[in-house]
C-alpha cells in the first residue's frame, strides 16, 4: 500500500485511492471482488461478528465462514498478483 499511498506508482484509474480495492482492478484486470458475497473489509468485520455472536444456525455460520475464506483468499492472491506486476516495472 505504501508504494501507492506515497505516490511511487500512480495511475489515473486509481482515482486518487490506494487501497487494494482501488489498485487491483487497474493492475490485474482479471481479478475482482464484485462476485464475492463479502467484498471489503467492513463487510468482513460485520460477517465475522455475525458468525461469532449472532448466527444461531450452524449452516449460517458455515456459509459465513466460507464467504470469509473466499474473501481472504482473494485478498492474499491479489497482493501477490499486484506484487508480480510491480516487480516487472
pTM over 0.75: yes
Query: Helices in 1-89 by DSSP H: which ranges?
Result: 2-5, 20-27, 41-49, 58-87
Structurally, the chain folds into a number of domains equal to 1
Domain that holds residue 57: 2-87
* Residues 6 or more apart whose Cβ sits within 8 Å of residue 38: 44, 47, 67, 68, 70, 71
**Confidence category of residue 1, pLDDT binned at 50, 70, 90:** confident
Predicted confidence (pLDDT) per residue in 15-39, tens digit: 999 999 899 999 999 999 999 999 9
C-alpha–C-alpha distance, residues 65 and 13, integer Å: 33
User: With pLDDT > 90 as the criterion, what percentage of the chain qualifies?
Assistant: 93
* Residues 6 or more apart whose Cβ sits within 8 Å of residue 79: 20
Mean pLDDT (the chain) is: 95
Amino acid at each position: 500500500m505504501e508504494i501507492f499511498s506515497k505516490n511511487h506508482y500512480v495511475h489515473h484509474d486509481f482515482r486518487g485511492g490506494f487501497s487494494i480495492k482501488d489498485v487491483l482492478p487497474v493492475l490485474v484486470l482479471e481479478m475482482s471482488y464484485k462476485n464475492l458475497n463479502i467484498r471489503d473489509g467492513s463487510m468482513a468485520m460485520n460477517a465475522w461478528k455475525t458468525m461469532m455472536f449472532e448466527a444461531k444456525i450452524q449452516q449460517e455460520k458455515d456459509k459465513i465462514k466460507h464467504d470469509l475464506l473466499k474473501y481472504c483468499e482473494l485478498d492474499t492472491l491479489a497482493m501477490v498478483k499486484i506484487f508480480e506486476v510491480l516487480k516487472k516495472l
